[in-house]
Amino acid sequence: MKRVSTLTMTMVLVVMIGCSPTEPQVQVETEVTASRTVTPEDKNRQLANKENDEAKPAEPYQIKKQIIEEQLRSSTAKVELNDAIAPESVVAMEYAMGAASSPGISLDNIRLPSEPLNRENYAIIDDNPVKRVIEQPVSTFSIDVDTGSYANVRRFLKAGSLPVQDAVRAEELINYFSYDYPLPTDRRAPFSLIREIAPTPWNSDTYLLHIGIQGYEVPPEQLPAANLVFLVDVSGSMQSANKLGLLKSSLKLLTNHMDRNDRISLVVYAGGTGVVLQPTPGDQKAVIDGAIDQLTAGGRTNGAAGIRLAYAMAEQGYIPNGINRVLLATDGDFNVGTTDIEQLKDLIEEKRKTGISLSTLGFGTGNYNDHLMEQLADTGNGNYAYIDTLSEAQKVLVDEISSTLLTIAKDVKIQIEFNPALVDEYRLIGYENRLLNREDFNNDQIDAGEIGAGHSVTALYEIALKGEGGSKVDPLRYQTQELVKTGKDSELAFLRLRYKQPQASISQLLEWPIKRQEIVSNINKTSDAFRFSAAVALFAQQLRGGKYTGQTSYDDTLALASGARGQDSFGYHGEFLTLVNLAKSLSSKSHVQAMVEENHQ
């Protein structure tokens, strides 16, 4: 008796098929489970097919969709057609389709993908932990004036979803807003510093230490001449209205405010690189706009080659004592040439020695590389912004042009030493990827953040005082708690700040004691800046899971922010309230709380 075997098989295959760059992407899927009898003749035929496949040359890279569609008519495979493919993927597809082929399969089973592919990339962030002062009394970090995380979070919420937790960097949400801190009275010190201490809104047993830094302002008409190089990603991934289309409109907003003393260059990159516009006086609007208008997307993304060429153009148009900056506008989806973040950072770290800084402007969704954009800007002594709307471009490139372009202090570091006689524990809110070692504070070779003209920077610590019930960590069993008397029993902490002038290599030191008598017992008697920044910090922590915020709700955040809006000339504070409301509506936790309250009524 001839033996036969029965094969039951479900084939699922995703293949990227190369089509003409001018053709739209096509995605189709089919998924079929096939059961049939496998005979010795089938095995012989499969062996012969395999030998033929090995003997014949590979199909050309650019395979037309029509060929694949014909093969799909007899396919039990799930196939996704796209515009980019490696030749080996074609071989894998053909093999799978041949192995899974079965007559009688209809194209009626083909369906569109249920949702678009999401390849967005964010650095993993772990919230800063609570630290005991007796064990780790010193906290050191670099300041950060980036705002990209806030705009990106807004994009998530307005699209109808909560942001992924790693997309939320608390310090960037807090520093998105200006807080009307007093301006410095003397430009020999580039910024003023304020601090406030009051009960923590989400924990009545702890206090919130608010530190605010305000840089001096320079009106746009008093800015020094600027040499700007626009480095624009024109790869295929940028081909959408919210990417290259929005990018072109955003750059025009900035160039409209340039004059004949300024220089504008335009470098593009995809699979290769090119100079679209040599250094051109800023008053030649028609020439500059014409160069921007001709930008079109297509090809792969060699970002490293573009960065090298952009720095070369910046060096060619270098203006002594002026603003010399590369503005990298991209979705960050580098896929050709140097793509490793550390190697790209090494490249930019070397180039910044020329006195040319690099800022990043992020665009788009789906494949957005937030991690890369933030890291490149930090390494390039620039700032990072995410442009989700033309209004955001107006804010970053026009309304805040002085702080975006003109650096007034670099390598700014903050260090706080807490007094263990009065403070039991502390926790820094945000700045997780800006932490420094204690010894880095005095080391002028260690890079840190920059402050632009008119920039404000805010940092918040949650602190637990001794004997007030706010401590979370048990003391060590074998460590003595005896303290040496210092005669500084009135000081909660000692604040140090280091910075360099823009062209200097030696840092300067500023110091302030923080006294216990500065504590305000009633949060309602604090400034609008204190309460609104606390509301933003609370919101950021809630979006990240609320590890330290107890039972506070989005309604608590709304109440705190609503009472501290202050002067809101551009409506940013009002928009924040809208975003909190959206998060409340999208939050499963809020829905559960509402159901519990309803059941108790």
What tens digit of pLDDT does each residue of 89-106 get?
444 444 444 444 445 545
Global confidence as pTM: 0.80
Residues 551, 467 share a domain: yes
pLDDT at 84: 43
Cβ 270 vs Cβ 300: under 8 Å:
yes
The verdict on 279 and 422 lying in the same domain is no
In terms of domains, do 431 and 561 share one?
Answer: yes
| Contact criterion met (CB below 8 Å) for 222 and 405 | no
Residue with token string 């303290």: 483
DSSP 3-state of 237: helix
Eight-state DSSP code of residue 61: S
Edge-to-edge strands of the sheet including 456-465? 131-132, 423-428, 456-465, 203-215, 191-200
Query: pLDDT (tens digit, 9 = 90+) per residue, 219-242?
Result: 999 999 999 999 999 988 888 888
pLDDT (average), residues 118-122: 87
Average pLDDT of the segment spanning 483-487: 71
CA 283 from centroid of its chain's CA atoms: 33
Same domain, 367 and 459: no
299 and 359 co-located in one domain: yes
Residue 312 belongs to some domain of the structure? yes
Tokens of 562: 């609503």
Position 301 in a domain: yes
With respect to residue 220, please indicate whether it lies within any of the assigned structural domains.
no
pLDDT, residue 477, reads 87
For residue 382, give the nearest of 447, 325, 443 by alpha carbon: 325
Whether residue 133 contacts residue 426, with contact meaning beta carbons closer than 8 Å, is answered with yes
Question: Are 172 and 284 part of one and the same domain?
Answer: no
Tokens of 66: 């029509």
**Would you say residue 216 lies in a domain?**
no
Residue found by looking up tokens 């033996």 in the block: 3
Number of domains in the chain: 3
pLDDT, position 523 = 96
Radius of gyration (C-alpha) of the chain in whole angstroms? 29
Report which of 514, 527, 591, 547 is spatially closest to residue 209, judged by C-alpha positions: 514
How many whole angstroms separate alpha carbon 576 and alpha carbon 523? 21
CATH number at residue 333: 3.40.50.410
Residue that is last in its domain, among 382, 405, 428 = 405
Domain-embedded: residue 123: no
Place of tokens 């300067």: 508
Bridging pattern class, strands 263-269 and 226-233: parallel
Domain coverage including residue 61: 5-109
Mean pLDDT across the chain: 83
Asked if the structure places residue 215 within a domain, the reply is no
The verdict on residue 119 lying in a domain is no
Co-location of 592 and 466 in the same domain? yes
